[in-house]
Amino acid sequence: MRYLQLTHNEWDPATKTSRPKVLHSFGREDQLDRDAIKRLVASLTRLLDPATALTSSGAGPAELAFTSSRPVGGTLVLDALWRRLGIDTVMARLLEGRKRDPRTERVLFALVANRALDPGSKLAAAGWVTRRAHIDGLPETSDDACYRAMDWLLDIAPELEREVFWQVATLLDHEVDLLFFDTTSTYFETEGPDDPITRDTRGRPAPDPSGDTGTENDADSGTDKSGGDTAGDGVGFRTYGKSKDSRDDLPQVVIGMAVTRAGIPVRVWCWPGNTTDSALIRQAREDMRDWTLARVMWVADRGFSSAANRRELRRGGGHYIIGEKLRSGSAEATAALSRPGRYQHVRDNLQVKEVRIADDERFVLCFNPEQAERDAALREVMTGKLAALIAASDRLTAEKRAELRGRISTMPGLNRYLRTTPGGLLRVDKKKVTSETHLDGKYLLRCSDPHLSAEDIALGYKQLLQVERGWRDMKTTLELRPVYHRLEDRIRAHVILCWLALLLVRIVETTTGRTWNQVRDDLQELHVGTFEGPAGTFRQRTELSAAQRDILTKLGIDTPKKIIELGPATTP
């Protein structure tokens, strides 16, 4: 019969010998509670460095198996910014009292991170999380969990958008008095448009008078049905419209975005594919007005210069800077080009001249010498191609000449300079070429604010390029398209995920002064390795490179712990 005790040797200075001191008695060996022993050992190892705990458990270095390695740098940085903006806090608060998976916030972050790091379908994103990425608090997920999280994201979108806006304005100290607004479209390679349904003035499905809220496919849409903006019979979400991707043959949706002067996207909208500009402007302005902003200057391109849009933007004391089409032949454009006066030099490649045309609006004519040279060179190339194309057309039959004329009409750059004589002959329009030379490097701006200088008006409009770059990055780096969804709610949620990804990416870029592709490449070299042994599993990151330390320092993110995670041994 043996008894087991935990003892500790203490030195006795009187006898100059060590004496054992009993710390704990475990009782008879044949009655030992081995599970209790395991729990005690596990509790004691928590006080040790995880790697030391595993090796000190009796497993030597040879018994530790290196089982996997995953990139962690990108998700670590994006997660830190996600939390800094308070997005996790907002979602956690909105999840309280709901019968939803508490990991929903983590799933949504994973979907946003996936768009920034390795975009794909939601099924591919679930596999990415489970097998190829390290997401804190989310070791794995499924495509069903992703779809459920997206459905909830659409429910909380209004409150989330408001919180993000004010966090950008206060926490990140970005100016939000000057907002740039622009739209784009994204098409769907489907056989036809969605079934038409009745919609409200915000482009969302109108409530069914019978009380039926409709199917999931009918939920939460976007175009304007009032004031004749859309057909009275209703419209589907994915429908035909003027495509900015030159795909008028495919159904599309229209997306709008508001961006700060620093290039940070603060709001996104989604409408059916045939929504008019007036409906877009009205909803965007009303939504931003609901946030009780003291002063907002809207900056938009020439596509929003109609009188109705300008009136809408000025309602409630708002102001705008809008591009005016010089080739439109409008009275304002003609007057601006004919007024004499000297240009004021603003930047190396920008000169401005304010012209007085109307009492309630200001007009600023801008001239870019470098752009003028590019315009002249491009026109020379276009007219040269046109001349070569029609060189032998006089010898063609009238029918063949008409075919050539039709083919040229599909080439906007060439068709602009083509003239047809009364006899049906094709010629380069020299008068058109001469008139175009007067427009080289010039663009006209219209502003309603009486206090802005001509320089500020020109520079403010020039920053509209930030929105255009946002669209380019959303469609390429973040892969807005293809959209792997057919339900309207899911399409809207997908757009919101892309917006959140672009928001985090832009914060990284504006803070570090580097492009996201460069930062991402450096961050993704930081890996977390998984080691397994008899006593358990631990995950340890690789050493930080100089580039990675520089990124974390500029973003104000603490150096991550070397040992990221410690887990118990897997039961066979």
DSSP for 61-94 reads GGG-EEEEEEE-HHHHHHHHHHHHTTHHHHHHHH
Answer yes or no: is 155 within a domain.
no
Answer yes or no: is 128 within a domain.
no
Question: Helices 516-523 and 73-84, interaxial angle, to 10°?
Answer: 120
H/E element, 475: helix 465-475
Length reported for the chain: 572
Tens-place pLDDT, residues 233-284: 589 999 999 888 888 899 999 998 888 877 888 889 999 999 887 788 788 8
Answer yes or no: is 460 within a domain.
no
Range of the domain at 391: 371-437
Q: What is the pLDDT of residue 188?
A: 94
How open is the CA angle 270-275-280, to the nearest 5 degrees?
Answer: 65
State the pLDDT confidence band at 516, using cuts at 50, 70 and 90: very high
Answer yes or no: is 557 within a domain.
no
- Considering its fold, how many domains does the chain have in total? 1
Answer yes or no: is 73 within a domain.
no
CB 511 within 8 A of CB 168: no
Q: What is the pLDDT of residue 230?
A: 41
Percentage of residues of the chain with pLDDT beyond 70: 88
CB 164 within 8 A of CB 241: no
Beta strands (DSSP E) in 377-512 are: 418-420, 426-428, 442-447
Tens-place pLDDT, residues 425-442: 999 999 999 999 989 999
Please state, in angstroms and rounded to a whole number, the distance separating the CA atoms of residues 123 and 141: 10
φ, ψ of residue 198 in degrees (nearest 5): -75, 140
Both structure tokens of 149: 């999280």
Q: Which alpha helices (DSSP H) does 241-357 contain, by range? A: 277-289, 307-314, 331-338
Mean pLDDT of 500-510: 94
Answer yes or no: is 423 within a domain.
yes
Both structure tokens of 221: 């849409």
Tens-place pLDDT, residues 356-371: 888 888 999 999 999 9
Tell me, what amino acid is at 185? Answer: S
Q: What is the DSSP letter of 99?
A: -
Q: Chain centroid to CA 275: how far?
A: 22
Answer yes or no: is 387 within a domain.
yes
Mean pLDDT of the residues in the chain: 85
State the pLDDT confidence band at 222, using cuts at 50, 70 and 90: very low
Please state, in angstroms and rounded to a whole number, the distance separating the CA atoms of residues 182 and 162: 19
> Is the model more confident about 304 or about 57?
304
Whether 224 has a pLDDT exceeding 50, the answer reads no
Answer yes or no: is 429 within a domain.
yes
Whether 108 has a pLDDT exceeding 70, the answer reads yes
CB 220 within 8 A of CB 159: no
Tens-place pLDDT, residues 158-214: 899 888 888 887 766 666 667 788 888 999 999 899 999 998 877 888 876 555 444
Q: What is the pLDDT of residue 223?
A: 38
